[in-house]
Structure 1
Amino acid sequence: MSVTIKDVAAQANVAPSTVSRVISDSPLISEKTKRKVQKVMDEMGYHLNYNAQMLATQSTKTIGIIMKNSTSEFMHSSFFPEVIRGISALCSRYDFSISLTTGESEEEIFADTVKMVRGKRVDGMIVLYSKKDDKVVPYLIESGIPFVVIGKPLIQSSKIMFVDNDNVQAAKEATDFLLNLGHKKIAFIGEDDQFEVSEARLNGFIQAVKAQGLAVSEGYIKNIQFDPHHGKQVITELMGLAEPPTALVVSDDLNALIVLTALSEKNIKVPDDMSMIVFNNSVISKVANPPLTTVDTQIFQLGYESANCLIELVKDPQMFRKSVIIPTVIVERNSCSAL
């Protein structure tokens, strides 16, 4: 026979209502009592009836995750598996589940979002990107559901809770790292410029170059959208310039892998012939040949803090909409050398 709340209450020598409040993480119950009751629940093998809890609390104990792009592209990203790991770690602490959008296009991802909200399938949402002309964030604002954005929102940023790095400053520091090694001809390779993070890192690059009294050549600014063929074309264009760059700032480490391959095919060695600094500090930058100097954006912490902010917001929808900035740090490896 299954263990009931009354059984737990009798064993813990508390009222059944106290056990119910412990299960709902009520602030009315002391941490000491919560630990005591939780220990008894574990020892007796009590398992929460989630359907009953949902009816009683009007909560799904589920967070919706809105993907940047399709699930097939997600699996090839160095950023998203790690940010999901951070979100999952925090959700596990509070016994929340996660639900991902599964659409294969922008329209399908938006439709998934609407279904989650209208169907009351989730208590809140985490948007894993900030993008120009995005339909998702305006819809979430209109719906009134609690949500958090990873990245600086492009609309109503003072009214939206978000978690981010200071990507302008991080890109300035990455560029300064190369400038301090004596490089004057530095190119920037970004991602899709529709996303706020790409624009912020480009702005930081430009600020660092101009601060040294150097001109910013449009020919030194490129974008790659995770396409090896396009990557080869970009490297061909850069190395075909009258004054080709001696160093690269690459905004994503998966793109950096594409760039490394394209350089190798042209017999351009890193760091002997070309220095390179990248972003994210995922496993890609660690196992690349050579291992890549990188800006560690602490992806796990971005996910962890976004989930923490959202659960706080779910519990208190009227709370102040704060922003959390996760610091970055440069990790030196073997892809940069003095000019």
Structure 2
Amino acid sequence: MVTIQDIANRTGVAISTVSRALGDSPKISLKTKERIKKVAQDMGYIPNFAARNLTQTESNTVGVVFQPQSEGNTDNDFAMQILFGINSQLIARRYLLTTATGSNWSEVFNSVKMMVEAGQVRRFILLYTVENDPITELLNENHARVVVTGEPESDTNILYVDNDNRKASAEATKALVNYFRLKSPLFVRTMADWRFEENRELGFREAQEEGDVLSLPLEFTQQKQVLQKYFEQHQTVDGIVASDDKLGYLTRNQAQAHLPSHPKLPTIAFNCSEYARLGGKNFYSVDVLPRALGSEAVRLLFNDQQPPLERTEATSFIVPYRIPKVGE
């Protein structure tokens, strides 16, 4: 196994210089760092992360924090895609990924607290946005660097990555309405106070001022009941725009079951998940590129480590999206 001593011997510098160069110390010139890192890479050097963590106040780990997860919840494909994007960037930086989750906010909070106090984790990506969040307050008190996925609930100086959900929803709605010449499209979302759903609703209203909006409860059985009652009372609905694929799939099935002609209504939703594939003909989905969201979250998280000339003043990054070609 290649050691720091081996690299020092090869480069002709002190062990302390090698250690500082590999740790990106500002005391070492950029030219020297690049030379030492290249030699280390050529020699196949693998950092001893455990030893490194004992000698510094920040570990080589990034914490990824989930909102509480209900027991038996398997609908995490979107979050997993973000994690893939995050991990690909962390591997390149020789950082590890650890997650904080739980069945309630208290469990998530305690998990994050343990990371900060026992694990010396000082960089976090939050896969949610909540106003007056105790976890964010805890991380701020400990001078952690934090990036959130999704537009923050308040106009504070929070680092975040997101899509332009309002614009994407407006474009998606127009594409569906224009191709199928819809007269009475329905927008479906949940009653949750999520900013991305609010923005997608605003985009729908922008494109279809007289379109109807239906907010569903979070529990699945209740969602089916509300949809059944709605379609029994609103029989002119001719298309669906949904805040995500799962809602779009459920809404379309309930429309087919309870509208008199039992149509498979043209539908457009978000996330390009398995539900969109199950939807079949005339079910379309906007790709919000979750892996890119994860990758850009890491880049923003480590922006402070960039050389001065490469560092940006940006506090956010808007990831593009892909509108499907309706009719194909």
TM-score, normalised via structure 1 length: 0.82
Deviation at 1:95, TM superposition (A): 0.7
Matched, 1:253 2:251: no
Query: Residue 108 of structure 1 aligns to which amino acid in structure 2?
Result: E
Query: Residue 164 of structure 2 aligns to which amino acid in structure 1?
Result: D
Deviation at 1:126, TM superposition (A): 0.8
Q: Paired residue for 1:289?
A: 280
Query: Which residue, out of 303, 323, 327, partners 1:330?
Result: 323
Q: Paired residue for 1:308?
A: 299
CA distance in 2, matches of 1:94, 1:73: 34
Q: Paired residue for 2:41?
A: 39
Secondary structure at the counterpart of residue 98 of structure 1: strand
Q: Paired residue for 1:188?
A: 187
Question: Aligned pair in 2 of structure 1 residues 251, 136: CA closer, same or farther (>3 Å)?
Answer: same
Question: Aligned pair in 2 of structure 1 residues 56, 119: CA closer, same or farther (>3 Å)?
Answer: closer
Whether contact under 8 Å (2:128, 2:150) holds in the other structure is: yes
Query: Residue 66 of structure 1 aligns to which amino acid in structure 2?
Result: V
Deviation at 1:273, TM superposition (A): 4.1
Query: Residue 278 of structure 1 aligns to which amino acid in structure 2?
Result: A
Secondary structure at the counterpart of residue 301 of structure 1: helix
Describe how 1:87-106 pairs up with structure 2 within 5 A: 87-106=86-105
Query: Residue 121 of structure 2 aligns to which amino acid in structure 1?
Result: V
Describe how 1:201-220 pairs up with structure 2 within 5 A: 201-210=200-209, 214=210, 216-217=211-212, 220=213
Deviations 1:21-53 (CA, angstroms, capped at 9, x unpaired): 4421457243752553133331xxx43222321
Q: Paired residue for 2:175?
A: 177
Describe how 1:44-193 pairs up with structure 2 within 5 A: 46-70=45-69, 72=71, 75-132=74-131, 134-157=133-156, 159-181=157-179, 182-193=181-192
CA distance in 2, matches of 1:145, 1:314: 14
Query: Residue 247 of structure 1 aligns to which amino acid in structure 2?
Result: G
Deviation at 1:74, TM superposition (A): 6.0
Secondary structure at the counterpart of residue 59 of structure 2: coil
Deviation at 1:237, TM superposition (A): 2.6
Q: Between Structure 1 and Structure 2, how many residues are aligned? A: 321
Matched, 1:298 2:289: yes
CA distance in 2, matches of 1:287, 1:24: 48
Secondary structure at the counterpart of residue 305 of structure 1: helix
Query: Residue 284 of structure 2 aligns to which amino acid in structure 1?
Result: T
Whether contact under 8 Å (2:252, 2:265) holds in the other structure is: no
Deviation at 1:84, TM superposition (A): 0.6
Whether contact under 8 Å (2:192, 2:218) holds in the other structure is: no
Whether contact under 8 Å (2:11, 2:39) holds in the other structure is: yes
CA distance in 2, matches of 1:15, 1:282: 53
Secondary structure at the counterpart of residue 330 of structure 1: coil
CA distance in 2, matches of 1:288, 1:26: 53
Deviation at 1:54, TM superposition (A): 1.9
Whether contact under 8 Å (1:64, 1:116) holds in the other structure is: yes
Q: Paired residue for 2:254?
A: 262
Query: Residue 8 of structure 2 aligns to which amino acid in structure 1?
Result: A
Query: Residue 105 of structure 1 aligns to which amino acid in structure 2?
Result: N
Deviations 1:278-325 (CA, angstroms, capped at 9, x unpaired): 101234423543373111111110111111111224679x98451111
**Structure 2 runs not aligned, ≥5 long:** none
Whether contact under 8 Å (1:131, 1:196) holds in the other structure is: no
Whether contact under 8 Å (2:185, 2:238) holds in the other structure is: yes
Whether contact under 8 Å (2:122, 2:143) holds in the other structure is: no
Query: Residue 42 of structure 2 aligns to which amino acid in structure 1?
Result: V
Question: Aligned pair in 2 of structure 1 residues 24, 79: CA closer, same or farther (>3 Å)?
Answer: same
Secondary structure at the counterpart of residue 277 of structure 1: strand
Whether contact under 8 Å (1:12, 1:40) holds in the other structure is: no
Moved more, 143-152 or 89-98: 143-152
CA distance in 2, matches of 1:300, 1:168: 20
Whether contact under 8 Å (2:63, 2:121) holds in the other structure is: yes
Query: Residue 299 of structure 1 aligns to which amino acid in structure 2?
Result: P
